[in-house]
Amino acid sequence: MDLIAMATGFLLILIGLFGALTNRNILRMIVAFAVANTGVNLVLVSVGYMTGRTAPILDSAVPVAEATARVIDPVPQALVLTAIVIGVGVTALMLAYAYRLFKTRGTLDISRYTDLKW
């Protein structure tokens, strides 16, 4: 039961990959990639989790002296904060490119874009 967050994260990655590989509409693929991205973040955060410990914020509940015994690993959290922000940037870029593609070709169906197909 401890691993429920990690299992959810892996499941989200699989769902996202499935959506990205089976959908033909570019917008749906972008949404699927966002889902997979969320799954990766969830897995990363769950790696830093330790049962029975609390958030890495020191206050009256977690005195400085007891910090090493009471807080969870802060490094994955910092990493995921970065990953979320970069994920937003990647999604925005994909949306902008999808808009340009639609404007030039008039379709969002990926199977109509055969330029790089061999």
* Chain residues in the site for other proteins (CB under 8 A): 2-3, 6-7, 10, 13-14, 17-18, 21-22, 49-51, 55-59, 64, 67-68, 71, 73-75, 77-78, 81-82, 84-86, 88-90, 92-93, 95-97, 99-100, 103
Residue with tokens 């925005």: 92
Shortest reach from residue 24's CB to other proteins, in Å: 11
Pick 22 or 107: Cβ nearer other proteins: 22
Q: CB of 105 within 8 A of CB of 112? A: yes
Question: Which structure tokens are listed for 87?
Answer: 């994920």
Residues 71 and 55 sit within 8 Å (Cβ to Cβ):
yes
25 or 77, CB closer to other proteins? 77
Residue 76: CB minimum distance to other proteins, A: 9
Question: Is the CB of 101 or the CB of 116 nearer to other proteins?
Answer: 101
Instruction: Please answer whether residues 20 and 32 qualify as being in contact, where contact means their C-beta atoms are separated by less than 8 angstroms.
Output: yes
Q: Which residue has the tokens 């990205």?
A: 20
Map residue 109 onto helix, strand or coil: strand
